[in-house]
Amino acid sequence: MEKTIANKTVNVNDEGYLTDFNQWDKDIAIELAKEKEVELTDKHWEVLSYLQDKYKNEEALSIRGIKKSGILNIKEFYNLFPGGPLKISTLIAGIPKPKSCI
């Protein structure tokens, strides 16, 4: 299904996740973050970049993996992306929802 985000038409699934990572850009990330009431800081961008790198390398994403990343601890992750940090951060990063998320 198509959705207009940041004046761009993108393809999303029924949960709002981009279905084509190549359509993602920073403007789209900012708009998706606003929808989730997240104001992106440098730390958010660092996490989003980490998640995208993992996705591009076809590595599974999990909360445990974030903990081992060395970028931030779990408490910081929950503070940056409240209400489901892995689910929200991957949505903003333009990558599919991890299988570990309900």
Task: Output the DSSP codes for 53-67.
Answer: HHHHTTPPP-HHHHH
pLDDT above 90 for 101: no
Mean pLDDT of all residues belonging to the chain: 93
pTM over the 0.85 mark: yes
Q: Give dist(CA 98, CA 102) in Å, integer.
A: 9
DSSP 3-state percent helix, strand, coil across the chain (nearest 5): 50, 10, 40
* Residue 60 forms part of a structural domain: yes
Question: How many domains does the structure of the chain reveal?
Answer: 1
Residue 2 parent element (H or E): strand 2-5
* Residue 50 forms part of a structural domain: yes
Strand 8-11 and strand 2-5: the pairing is antiparallel
* Residue 61 forms part of a structural domain: yes
Point out the residues that are catalytic.
101
Tens of pLDDT, residues 72-87: 999 999 999 999 999 9
Q: What pLDDT does 51 receive? A: 95
> What is the average per-residue pLDDT within 22-32?
97
Domain extent at residue 51: 2-93
Tens of pLDDT, residues 35-44: 999 999 999 9
